[in-house]
Structure formats: structure tokens, C-alpha cells
């Protein structure tokens, strides 16, 4: 590991922290400055202006926004996630109940999607132009076009209503045995895998196909290297950076999918909590959830960048 690599990684981390700061500004001021008012919302439509003003004062909403921003960000950094006035509980408690569920769902999905999508994409590129390639590419373009909620509703219709094989909701009682848990996870995970794999398949296929068209792969072919050696030894190492980036890019889609899937299957995760928060306009909850999601997203993107840097043989 030389100095240049360390410098590049340091630069990436600095950019990530700067982005997180800018994202926090965007999240806070979009939720605060757009028309709409928490006090009004809490008290309902038929509220007198005095009562609303009173509540605003109690909640501290009458102070300048910039001051509240710094209080909020300082709170986040010191572990105080704010207080949800709608459910009358600290946001930290709400998040602590839900976050592990969402992480489980996302982790299972990634563990299935990444090897599956990369495998399909790489093999499609190896056999470019074959029936397998065309089938995979067509399937990927179809999946890209279908909204997650459509895949989810059609699966529920087929597997829960007609076949009655799987439960339509993913509420897992605390006493559930292993089989119940697995059955409850099958549909949400399938929808997420379908939703997030297509982009990855397309991008990894393109990355390998690009690498296969380079002079050094042609050279390997002329030397008489086998097809698998050409791909695994020559093309793949040079395609790692775009492939890792494609995985990071699909994470944005995966998060969108998680929001939809948790709602469809009534899964008790953080995304469902946030969607409910938007309906009730529970601002502290929304702000904190957004920052948690963006934080995870930025960590993944930065990790992908760092892997891409480390994988570049020219820097070693």
C-alpha cells in the first residue's frame, strides 16, 4: 500500500463526509422551508392561530431555522435523534425497533442479488450474442421496466391468493419457528432481488464486454489462452471498478425497493416507519430516517469507490 493510494482513499472519505453534510442541509431545509407546518398539522384543521403559535413556541419552532439546524445536527452527532411529537416517543426508540429488520431484509437481498446478477452478467458477456445472452438481456430490460409494486402485487396474487403457498404479509410473531420466518421472507426478498438485479446485470455485462474488446484480451486470445482464462485472468480484473460501481449504483434502487416492499408486505422496517411518518408529517422522524438511509448509502458508495481504487493494478 503506497502513499498515493492512501491519499486517494483519504480524498474519497473527505468527499463522503462533505456530501453527508450537504445532504443533511438539503434534508433539513427541504422539510423545514417548504410550506406546511408541524404545529398546524398536530392540532388539525380547525385550530386557532393562537393555539398554533403557542404550540410552535413550546416545540421551539419559532426560533430561526439555522439555529434549529445546528441543534439537530449536534443532536445527531451526539446520539440524540430527536423526539417524535406524533407518536410521543423519542425517535431513537422507534428507530432501534425497526432498523435491524430493514438491515436483515437488505442484507439477505444483497447476499442473493450480487452473486446472482454478477454471475448472469458475466456469463452473458462471455457468450455475447448467444441465446443465453439474449434471454438474459431481454429479461433484464423487462425487469427494469416493471415497477416493484407491480411485481409484488402479481406475486401476492399468484402465490398467496391462488396457490395459497405463502403468507401475503410479512409480520413475524416473536414465537415464530424457522419455517414461518423463511416463508415470510420469500416474497419480499424475491421482489427486491428482481427489482435490483437488472441494472447490475446490464452494467456488469457491459463492463466485461468492454474489457473483452481490448487489445490485451485479443493478445491473450492470439497466444491461445482458453476462453475462461481470457475472462477470469485478463478481462475480469480490469472490469472490477465498473462492476463495483454498478453494485453501488443499484443500492439507490434497492433502497427505493425496500420502501415499496416494506409497505406492500407490511414489514416492520425503518422504511415503513418513514413512509408512515410522511403521512403523519412527523418531521423529526423523517429527518432522522433520511439521514440514516443517506448515511448507509454514502458508506456503500464510498466503499465501492475505495474497492475500485484498490483494484486498479496500475496503482499497486
Partner 1 sequence: MTVSAAPRRKLRFHIRPIAAICLAVVLFWAAIALFAPLLVHYPVGDMVSYDYFGPMSKEYWLGTDYLGRDIYSRLIVGARYTIGIAFVGLILAALIGITLGLFAAAFGGLFDTILSRAIDTFVGIPNLLLALVIVAGGGSSIPILVFAITIIFFPGCYRFTRSMAINVNALDFIAAARARGEGHFYVMIHEILPNIVGPIMADLGLRFVHIILLLSGLSFLGLGVQPPFADWGAMVRENMIGISYGSPAVVVPSLALASLALAINLLIDNLPQRIRDQLE
By beta-carbon proximity to partner 1, the closer residue of 28 and 185 is: 28
Shortest distance in whole angstroms from residue 101 CB to partner 1: 18
Answer for the pair 234, 216: CB distance below 8 angstroms, yes or no.
Answer: yes
CB atoms within 10 A of CB 204: 25
- Give how far Cα 38 sits from Cα of 54, 75, 313, Å: 12, 20, 54
Q: Residue 90: beta bridge partners?
A: 83
Stretch that binds partner 1, among 18-26, 60-68, 110-118, 122-130 (CB under 8 A): 18-26
DSSP 142: H
Stretch that binds partner 1, among 19-27, 73-81, 178-186, 217-225 (CB under 8 A): 19-27
Determine if 10 is a binding residue for partner 1 (CB under 8 A).
no
Q: Residue 257: beta bridge partners?
A: none
Rounded Cα distance, 152 and 263, in Å: 10
Determine if 23 is a binding residue for partner 1 (CB under 8 A).
yes
Stretch that binds partner 1, among 57-65, 86-94, 137-145, 183-191 (CB under 8 A): 137-145
Rounded Cα distance, 94 and 208, in Å: 44
- Choose which of 2, 3, 33, 49 interacts with partner 1 (CB under 8 A): 33
Backbone angles phi, psi at 170, to 5 degrees: -110, 35
Shortest distance in whole angstroms from residue 2 CB to partner 1: 27
Residues 6 or more apart whose CB falls under 8 angstroms from that of 44 comprise none
What angle separates helix 236-264 from helix 148-155, to the nearest 10 degrees? Answer: 60
Determine if 260 is a binding residue for partner 1 (CB under 8 A).
yes
Tell which phi-psi region holds residue 172, choosing left (phi > 0), alpha (psi between -120 and 50) or beta: beta
- Choose which of 14, 150, 182, 232 interacts with partner 1 (CB under 8 A): 150
Determine if 153 is a binding residue for partner 1 (CB under 8 A).
yes
Shortest distance in whole angstroms from residue 273 CB to partner 1: 12
Rounded Cα distance, 158 and 25, in Å: 44
By CB under 8 A, how many residues form the interface with partner 1? 51
- Choose which of 298, 307, 308, 310 interacts with partner 1 (CB under 8 A): 298
Q: Could you list the residues that contact partner 1 (CB under 8 A)? A: 19-20, 22-23, 25-27, 30-36, 141-142, 144-150, 153-154, 156-157, 161, 206, 251-253, 255-256, 259-260, 263, 274-275, 277-279, 281, 283, 286, 290, 293-294, 297-298, 301
Amino acid at each position: 500500500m503506497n502513499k498515493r493510494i492512501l491519499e486517494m482513499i483519504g480524498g474519497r472519505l473527505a468527499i463522503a463526509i462533505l456530501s453527508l453534510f450537504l445532504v443533511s442541509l438539503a434534508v433539513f431545509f427541504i422539510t423545514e422551508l417548504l410550506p406546511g407546518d408541524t404545529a398546524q398539522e398536530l392540532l388539525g384543521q380547525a385550530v386557532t392561530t393562537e393555539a398554533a403559535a403557542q404550540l410552535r413556541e413550546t416545540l421551539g419552532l419559532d426560533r430561526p431555522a439555522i439555529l434549529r439546524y445546528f441543534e439537530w445536527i449536534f443532536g445527531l452527532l451526539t446520539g440524540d435523534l430527536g423526539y417524535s411529537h406524533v407518536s410521543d416517543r423519542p425517535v431513537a426508540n422507534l428507530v432501534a425497533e425497526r432498523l435491524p429488520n430493514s438491515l436483515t431484509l437488505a442484507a439477505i437481498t444483497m447476499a442473493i442479488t450480487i452473486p446472482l446478477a454478477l454471475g448472469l452478467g458475466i456469463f452473458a458477456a462471455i457468450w455475447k450474442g448467444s441465446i443465453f445472452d439474449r434471454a438474459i438481456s431481454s429479461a433484464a430490460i423487462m425487469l427494469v421496466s416493471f415497477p416493484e409494486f407491480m411485481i409484488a402485487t402479481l406475486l401476492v396474487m399468484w402465490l398467496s391468493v391462488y396457490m395459497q403457498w405463502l403468507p401475503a404479509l410479512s409480520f413475524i410473531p416473536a414465537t415464530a419457528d424457522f419455517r414461518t420466518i423463511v416463508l415470510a421472507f420469500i416474497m419480499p426478498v424475491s421482489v427486491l432481488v428482481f427489482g435490483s438485479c437488472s441494472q447490475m446485470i446490464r452494467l456488469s455485462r457491459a463492463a466485461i464486454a468492454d474489457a473483452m474488446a481490448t487489445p490485451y484480451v485479443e493478445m491473450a486470445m492470439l497466444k491461445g489462452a482458453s476462453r475462461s482464462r481470457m475472462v477470469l485472468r485478463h478481462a475480469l480484473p480490469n472490469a472490477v471498478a465498473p462492476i463495483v460501481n454498478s453494485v453501488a449504483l443499484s443500492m439507490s434502487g434497492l433502497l427505493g425497493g425496500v420502501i415499496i416492499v416494506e409497505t406492500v408486505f407490511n414489514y416492520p422496517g425503518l422504511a415503513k416507519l418513514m413512509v408512515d411518518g410522511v403521512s403523519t408529517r412527523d418531521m423529526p422522524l423523517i429527518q432522522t430516517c433520511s439521514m440514516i438511509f443517506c448515511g448507509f448509502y454514502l458508506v456503500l458508495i464510498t466503499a465501492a469507490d475505495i474497492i475500485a481504487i484498490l483494484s486498479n493494478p496500475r496503482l499497486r
